[in-house]
Amino acid sequence: MSGTSAGLTGRETVSIRGEGTLSSRIRRHRWLYVLLLPTLAYFFMFSILPYYGLSIAFKDFSPFVGIADSKWVGLKHFRRLFVESPDFYRLLRNTLLIHLYKLIFGFPVPILFALLLNEVRKSFFKRFVQTVTYFPHFLSWVIYGGIVVNFLTPTGVINSTFDSLGMEPMNFLTDTGLFRPIIVATSIMKDFGWSAIIYLAALSGLNPELYDSAKVDGANRYHQLRYVTLPGIMPMISLMLIINLSNILDAGFEQIYVMMNPSVYAVGDIIDTYVYRMGLEMGQFSLATAVGLFKGVIGFLLVVSANSLLRRLGQRSIW
Amino acid sequence: MQKTNAYDYGIYLLLAIACVITIVPVLHVLSVSLSEPQAVYRSNLMLYPRQLSWDAYQYVFATPTLVRAFGITVFITVVGTMLNLLFTITGAYALSKRTLPGLSFFMILVIVVMNFNAGLIPGYLNVKSLGLLNSVWAMILPGVVNAFNLILMRNFFMDLPEEIEEAAKIDGCSDLALIFRIVIPISLPAIATIGLFYGVAHWNEFFKGLFYITDNRLWPLQVLLKTIVFDNNLNSLVGANTSDILIEPANVQAASIVFATVPIVIVYPFLQKHFVKGIVMGAVKG
């Protein structure tokens, strides 16, 4: 682009960067390579080098022997995962279920919230609601989860309220039936306001003339919502849905890690928490790496498919 | 202008409920932290402090571990964000030049590392083999360039008008001077946005501390908080010289939470403004 624009304006003094032999082009761009070098070095050291460590998924890794000298064992760890141990299906099930519950119950909330907010004409009130509801997004899950736990412990706020109403106390955090609903509800509470931003941006980009002509045609507010607003933000909704589905193996590591305890492993243990526990706490490096590799490969394929699907739909793609 | 009707009041009501759901838990913790320890023994919902007291904060500030963890997190946030910006700006600028030989190769590389992560254990072994375990640098160097932020910054640079740089070159500005004297100054809003993205991530950094730091004297704030708040482990607060203060765990936990949140509250006006811009920027162009 720069080459042609410089050419079109006819300024010969400006180097036309797109032209010349490869070596002269490289020489002309040498400062850019110097600038790019730190970033490339970083990716090499912290993203590419770890790929080598993936080989231990096919080895019996021992930290004392090192990656290179550990013995190759082929698919032993994958066999153990997929065939011999019941752990893996529990993990996969928990991961998928928690993600899907978050999707089903959580995905519509920011859309509804943005639509409500968009109807507010008093900008002071609108700003106030935004300021309040965006805030929890900036808190870590350690902090927000800490607040949640403070409400749910046997002596917490909710049980104290139960107590004063003469109801039996409940142990929310160790109840296998309540763990997933609590995870889903709290993740919605923390991020619904923040996630609405993208829809608010889409809503503010809708052409006001569409509303004016709809009104001329006698459309009431429901008609406007149904025939102007929703079709207008539908591309953004489908974009977010596709991106969300491509992350289906992420159920929210930090949230679940901080809020989980051993009594709810059966319903709460997800791929990421298992990898951490097996690998770093119990020293089963190879097994944990095999699980991580499974997740990484599936996740990569999903994201690549999502991106090409978006391109084929003529949508903004992820990259 | 339409008149406010029942429909609007319904909307206001729903939005007010959304605000209450968001704000009440935060208000409760703040109130607990500011109350007299005896008043929070059996904690009912509090929207304001009962018998205003600074005891819990006195306890927190008298605790060397918490203050040290705060210092470590400040260090990670300040130094980490500066390095993030240095790497991201230079890398994104180079990648924003469409005529750069090898550009498509570099972009494929960025997209691959962005979407295919080697995972926790290989990452851990890598940090270990680089000799970074139990060093603050383990919480700074891995992640010094976030590929998403790199692409966001690159998109911003690509949209800068070419004429500005060309004019500067005609005036004899060298390639490097161009960046520091022209490109960075006109990109400050985008740089602020990305700096805040990085800064908040550092402040809330939990996993790198959990994975790479076993020496609890080097724990960042979030890791220490996890043990105080979830593992109910007030022993983490070793060395507190506070025998004269009668203390209630819920009280101290609340005060620690507030203590770690205050810096976020202080920068919140900037966060809200710039993050919204960044999200919209990413959505519209990414």
Inter-residue contact A115 to B2 (CB < 8 Å): no
- Residues B31, A150: Cα–Cα separation, whole Å: 13
Whichever domain contains A182, its CATH number is 1.10.3720.10
CA-CA-CA-CA torsion sign (A71, A74, A76, A77):
positive
pLDDT of residue A254: 97
Q: Is the residue at A317 inside a domain?
A: no
> For testing the chain A interface, which of B120, B211, B214, B281 should be mutated: the one with the most A CBs within 10 Å?
B120
For tokens 């939990």, name the residue: B206
Say yes or no to pLDDT of B285 above 80.
Answer: no
Q: How confident is the model at residue A13 (pLDDT cuts 50, 70, 90)?
A: very low
pLDDT of residue B230: 85
Say yes or no to pLDDT of B70 above 70.
Answer: yes
Inter-residue contact A110 to A192 (CB < 8 Å): yes
DSSP, res A195: H
Inter-residue contact B285 to B155 (CB < 8 Å): yes
Shared-domain flag, residues A87 and A224? yes
Q: Which residues pair with B52 in a beta bridge?
A: B35
Contact B226 A142 (CB under 8 A): yes
Element at A72 (helix H, strand E): strand A71-72
Shared-domain flag, residues A86 and A234? yes
Shared-domain flag, residues A216 and A143? yes
Q: Please count the structural domains in chain A.
A: 2
pLDDT in tens, A171-229: 898 999 999 999 999 999 999 999 999 999 999 889 999 999 999 999 888 899 999 99
Q: How confident is the model at residue A80 (pLDDT cuts 50, 70, 90)?
A: very high
Q: Mind giving me the DSSP string for A171-184? A: -GGG-HHHHHHHHH
Q: Is the residue at A60 inside a domain?
A: yes
pTM of the model: 0.90
Say yes or no to pLDDT of A8 above 90.
Answer: no
- Selecting from A133, A198, A293 the residue whose C-beta is nearest the C-beta of B22 gives A133
> For testing the chain B interface, which of A8, A28, A31, A32 should be mutated: the one with the most B CBs within 10 Å?
A32
Chain A residue numbers touching B162 (CB-CB < 8 A)? 1-2, 5-6
Nearest of B57, B4, B18 to residue B34 by alpha carbon: B57
Chain A residue numbers touching B207 (CB-CB < 8 A)? 253-254
Residue ending a domain, among A72, A93, A115, is A72
Winning range, highest mean pLDDT, from A208-212, B227-231, B241-245, B281-285: A208-212
Shared-domain flag, residues A64 and A81? no
Q: Where does residue A26 rank: exposed (0-12), middle (13-18), buried (19+ CB within 10 A)?
A: middle
Q: Which amino acid is at A54?
A: L
Inter-residue contact A60 to A70 (CB < 8 Å): yes
Q: Is the residue at A318 inside a domain?
A: no
Q: Where does residue A260 rank: exposed (0-12), middle (13-18), buried (19+ CB within 10 A)?
A: buried
Chain A residue numbers touching B284 (CB-CB < 8 A)? 201
Shared-domain flag, residues A66 and A81? no
pLDDT in tens, A290-312: 999 999 999 999 999 999 998 99
Shared-domain flag, residues A87 and A61? no
Residue ending a domain, among A72, A105, A133, is A72
Shared-domain flag, residues A184 and A219? yes
Shared-domain flag, residues A209 and A285? yes
Helices (H), A75-229: 76-79, 87-101, 108-119, 123-134, 141-152, 157-164, 176-195, 197-204, 208-216, 221-224
Contact B28 A29 (CB under 8 A): no
Say yes or no to pLDDT of A17 above 70.
Answer: no
- Residues B74, B220: Cα–Cα separation, whole Å: 9
Tell me what the mean pLDDT of segment B20-25 comes to: 94
Say yes or no to pLDDT of A232 above 90.
Answer: yes
Q: Is the residue at A300 inside a domain?
A: yes
Shared-domain flag, residues A171 and A251? yes
Q: Whole domain around residue A50: which residue ranges? A: 2-72
Shared-domain flag, residues A60 and A190? no
Q: Is the residue at A211 inside a domain?
A: yes
> For testing the chain A interface, which of B121, B158, B178 should be mutated: the one with the most A CBs within 10 Å?
B121
Chain B residue numbers touching A13 (CB-CB < 8 A)? 170
Q: Is the residue at A293 inside a domain?
A: yes
3-state SS record for B111-161: HHHHHCCCCHHHHHHHHHHCCCCCCHHHHCCCCCCCHHHHHHHHHHHHCCC
Residue ending a domain, among A72, A97, A123, is A72
Q: How confident is the model at residue B84 (pLDDT cuts 50, 70, 90)?
A: very high
Q: How confident is the model at residue A11 (pLDDT cuts 50, 70, 90)?
A: very low
Shared-domain flag, residues A61 and A136? no
Chain A residue numbers touching B115 (CB-CB < 8 A)? 299-300, 303-304
Shared-domain flag, residues A41 and A125? no
Closest-CA residue of A relative to B167 is A14
Nearest of B286, B113, B276 to residue B196 by alpha carbon: B276
Domains detected in chain B? 1-53 (no CATH), 56-285 (1.10.3720.10)
pLDDT of residue A12: 40
- Cβ contacts from A onto B, under 8 A: 278
Q: Is the residue at A163 inside a domain?
A: yes
- Selecting from A2, A125, A254 the residue whose C-beta is nearest the C-beta of B99 gives A2
Q: Is the residue at A319 inside a domain?
A: no
